[in-house]
Amino acid sequence: MAVLCAALPLEYGAVRDLSPGPVSREELGGVHYETSSLGGWKVVLAFIGRENTAAAIQVQRMITALDPQVAMLVGIAGGRYVSHGDVIAADCVYDYEAGRDDDEGSYSRVKSLHSAAGLVAIAQTVAIDAAWPGRLAQPPDPMPRAYVAPLASGGKVVTGSGSHTARLIERRCDDARGVETEGFGFLAAVRANDGVDGIVLRGVSDLLGDKTSDGDRVWQPRAARHAAAFAFELLSRTEPRPVTPRESGEPVMVNNGIENSGGGNAHLGIGGQGNSGNTVGTVGTSHGDVRIEWTPLAPTELDELRVAIKRLLALLSTHAGAIAGRDAEYEHAVRELETSVRGGRPESGRVLAALRSIGSFAAALTGVRQAIEAVQTLINAK
């Protein structure tokens, strides 16, 4: 499955109009989507939130529900050193708003996230051979070019080449060919999920300093169609991987140093096996020996825990530039969470320790404290 995401109605409409197969409606993961097909791909069309944080949250939910192999963000952007109608396939996306403020001033700490290397390599060939405009209903005039280059992403719509934000981008992201508002959040969510390759594709609807209402009416729909044409050409050259069924019913492996030094049996559980909080399974003892028989969580409970951890990781990635004083402890805690969802067997003692470390750095950020509490609740309530 491949998901093509759009944040604006005209972007979504461009993807829909250029879908090579018939478009139908289908319920997937409890949500109604429009779907199409291309070669061996099932193509799902999806709306996401505008701006980086909302985009990250929506994309994370979508990936959790649909489990796609490829996700593309398709839409429009303001251009730098390009022409109207050109397409930018982002090899990386900068978060130009990341930084630090203190009593002495503001300090920029630009962060970047990369699109999937395999998709970037194919995008290079699509850009070079320039066959993608053939997917448009009419040959464009003038003929657009495609670039594989960075994009700058932030919460501002930049309309002036002399604005503070434009000057910041020139200083800190001088190789960015375009400026947009969702790409960093999109890639943050994609990178939090193993097995999903993502890329951001933007058509240039205006240049910094020449944005007008009349120009938008002409160039925004055209630029969106160009990005959609490039996206379908890119997808047509990408082969789906064989589908492996999702894991289900796996035990959540927990070891909190439980000891039973006397005789008798101790019954400790999670998910219907007792109410000890952080331990899953049945522990039996005889003269100091400990035996742990792991009892699997129900598939829905395990999925809920994975989803909650992935949402937290997506938020942390989105807010990376705002987390002051990050050190080896913080980075280790993030790796623990990434490992917990990658391996499929979250170990609650280690997850809870990681949450405590992350909370000391990031709990004040929007949504992070609530995301931490959601994971803690799922672990402690079982």
- Mean pLDDT score, 81-95: 94
Please tell me the total count of domains within the chain.
2
Looking at the fold, whether 269 and 379 belong to one and the same domain comes out as yes
Percent of the chain with pLDDT over 90: 38
Look at residues 80, 78, 87, 95 and name the one whose alpha carbon lies nearest to residue 172. 95
User: What are the tens digits of pLDDT across the range 105-125?
Assistant: 565 667 889 999 999 999 999
Report the phi/psi class of residue 266: left, alpha or beta, with left for phi > 0 and alpha for psi in -120 to 50. Answer: beta
Looking at the fold, whether 232 and 303 belong to one and the same domain comes out as no
CB 268, CB 125: distance < 8 Å: no
* Per-residue pLDDT at 9: 94
Whether 242 is in a domain gets the answer no
89 Cβ neighbours under 8 A, 6+ residues apart: 115, 120, 123, 126, 127, 146, 147, 148, 149, 199, 200, 201, 230, 234
- Given 210, 236, 262, which residue is the final one in a domain? 236
Q: 249 versus 268: which is more confidently predicted? A: 249
- Given 186, 213, 236, which residue is the final one in a domain? 236
Please count the residues of the chain.
382
Q: Rg of the chain's alpha carbons, rounded to an integer?
A: 24
Distance (Å, whole) CA 351 – CA 362: 16
Q: Give me the domain span that covers residue 339.
A: 249-382
pTM here is 0.64
